[in-house]
Amino acid sequence: MSKRFTGTEKWDDPWFFELSNENKLLWIYLLDKCNHAGIFQFNQKMTEFILNNKYDWDEIKNIFNSRIVYLTKDKWFIQKFVDFQYGELNPENRAHNSVISILKKEGAYKGLIRSLEGRKDKDKDKALNKHSIYYLDILPKELTKFSDFVVVWKRWVNFRVEIKKKMPKTTVKSQINFLIKQPDPIGCIEQSIMNGWQGLFKLNDKREKKVAEELPMIDVSEESPEQWEDG
């Protein structure tokens, strides 16, 4: 009896969640009964007998269209099956080589490779987007010369995200201009994170000490531009 991985997160998948109970059962049946390359040999009578249900198969094909490639009338390829079970296929791996041979024979291999390459490109884009939210490309040398500034700056951006405060480029530039003028820019950032402040504030400022004592969480929109940077 063959064994395979199952994704428990499918129960949180909106697509799966919105399926009827009959269609949920059908989808699980397809995942269990396909071969080790993710290809299901469709037999209408057998499927309906085992699941004890009559299906509108034209409707089913439309519902499952985003998850299945219909290679022929009776051969269905579950697109994400191979990636989920094996990860990236390696021709030097005997188990993987068997999967590759089947996919090539059924005409599904090229489509799978294109799909995986597209996913890799998306992953790269996500990584680039994650990098760009920190605006590292516009941090000046006057700040990056300080040891650990980049690390602390990333903590600051992450903190702003956590408290649901956007960091548009105009705000970032304004904060950078402020930090350049400070003798201890890292200290300015760390004190704001430590006190839960939404903006950056000068160190050793009397007004800052008073505000810190009276109100740990500051709405920078109510402070004067001379004391706070736009946040």
Residues 50 and 144 in one domain: no
Same domain, 96 and 139: no
Residues 40 and 68 in one domain: yes
Q: What is the mean pLDDT of residues 54-78?
A: 93
Residue 3 forms part of a structural domain: no
**150 and 115 share one domain:** no
Whether pLDDT at 135 is above 60? yes
Overall domain count for the chain: 2
Domain that holds residue 26: 8-122
21/99: higher pLDDT: 21
User: Do 12 and 105 share a domain, yes or no?
Assistant: yes
- 99-127 b/e (C-beta count within 10 Å ≥ 16 → b): bbebbeebebbeebeebbeeeeeeeeeee
* 152 and 114 part of one domain: no
Residue 110: inside a domain = yes
Whether residue 118 sits in one domain with residue 212:
no
Residue 22 belongs to a domain: yes
pLDDT value of position 77? 92
What is the per-residue pLDDT across 165-210, written as a single tens digit (0 to 9) for each?
888 888 999 999 999 999 999 999 999 998 899 999 998 654 444 4
Q: Residues 98-102: what's their mean pLDDT? A: 86
Q: pTM to 2 decimals?
A: 0.49
* Rounded Cα gap, residues 61 and 69, in angstroms: 10
